[in-house]
Amino acid sequence: MKLSKPQIEQLKTLISKKGYSEIDVKYEILDHVAWTFVNHFSIIQSPQP
């Protein structure tokens, strides 16, 4: 599963609204949140044996 561009933009907006203004911090948070989201939903959607 991949996040769409609008989903990534929503995450960026949320991160900014939470008060993180430094670009490197924003991208680090975005990376962690996106990875967690994709990993979580990939596990849920994967077929069970």
3 located within any domain? yes
24 located within any domain? yes
2 located within any domain? yes
15 located within any domain? no
pTM > 0.75: yes or no: no
Question: In the numeric block, which tokens belong to residue 26?
Answer: 């924003």
Ramachandran assignment for 4, one of left (phi > 0), alpha (psi -120 to 50 degrees), beta (any other): beta
29 located within any domain? yes
Q: What is the pLDDT of residues 9-26, one digit of tens each?
A: 998 999 999 999 899 999
Q: Which pLDDT belongs to residue 46?
A: 59
Q: Say whether pLDDT at 48 is over 60.
A: no
Indicate the number of domains in the chain: 1
39 located within any domain? yes
Q: Are 42 and 5 in contact (CB under 8 A)?
A: no
Query: How far, in Å, CA of 37 to CA of 42, rounded?
Result: 8
Alpha carbon of residue 2 to chain centroid: 10
49 located within any domain? no
Range of the domain at 5: 1-10+20-44
